[in-house]
Chains A and B, each alone.
Chain A
Amino acid sequence: MNETDLNNIFRQATATTPADQGAAKRFLDHHRSRRKSYRHRLSLVSLILASAAAFTGTTILISHPNALPSSAAYDAYNSIQGDGW
């Protein structure tokens, strides 16, 4: 085999095929589907977190139906200034 033969082999091997041309579409189809599935999972997690926050808030509100606990800062303020603002 000489240099020309090798060049011919490279020329044939690198001629673009339909499989080469379709590579972008095949990749992008997978890529879009992966991203769609990722976004779906992300929105599901957000929904679960929001539901958990709402549930926790409601539970706290129901278990302490009266006044909210006063803070130490508010108590200190009242002890200096007297009741009321």
Chain B
Amino acid sequence: MNDYTHMPDSTLAKLALRDEQAFEVLVNRHAAGIHRLAANMVGPGAADDVVQEVFISVHKGLRGFRGEAQFSTWLHRIALNACYKTLNNKKNLSLSLSEAPEPISPHNPERAGDQANIREHLAQAMANLPKDQREAVALRELSGLEYAEIAKVLGIELGTVKSRINRGRHALREALSQIGLKGSD
């Protein structure tokens, strides 16, 4: 890798139109976060499909990205759309734990299994939220975006973002209580 690794996303996005190495730096920088978001929205087993969909869309759409929005804002909008597409393609939304999840950790399988379990249950609960709350909660709690950036991704007011997150968290607490999921300290 050369100096590309130190460049901001907006510069890389322009270079990536003609330079595969710039595109690969963008992928290396963001793929883990997109995979984590997807694993918690559609389940760990389908997260790779979302990652494929997202970065193929990014590669195709780079010519249309003018840099007026932040790259991260654009990327998260694409990621949410890819998650919905994957959810719609899934015949059975209520994910079964008998579905074989992808290999997670060779070092601590018990803990990795716990985490896969949490992600599966969280994905189930998230899928049952209304779409507007699900998007806001996912961007805040799973991707760690600031309220202002969430407002840009979703095209809504800051106050609306906060209220959707509050309502979504409340609904999630109830849903996760019903299935008996409890996070360890």
- Interface residues of chain A, those whose CB is within 8 Å of chain B, are 1-3, 5-21, 23-24, 26-28, 30-31, 35
Contact = CB atoms under 8 A, between A and B. Distances in A.
Contacts of B48: 23, 26-27
A8 B118 CA distance: 11
Contact of B184 (A2, A8, A21, A30): A8
- Chain B binding surface, main DSSP class: helix
A27 B142 contact: no
Given A1-B173, A27-B31, A17 B183 contact: no
Interface of B: 20, 24, 27-28, 31-36, 39-40, 44, 47-48, 51-52, 55-56, 59, 102-106, 112, 114-115, 118-119, 122, 141-142, 144, 169, 172-174, 176-177, 181-185
A68 to B, nearest CB: 43
A83 B35 CA distance: 78
A13 B31 contact: no
Nearest to B119: A13
Given A9-B176, A14-B142, A17-B115, A26 B183 contact: no
Given A9-B181, A12-B115, A24 B141 contact: no
Contact of B36 (A3, A20, A24): A20
The 10 closest A-B pairs by CB, nearest first: A8-B183, A24-B31, A23-B35, A9-B183, A23-B31, A20-B32, A1-B177, A20-B35, A24-B28, A10-B141
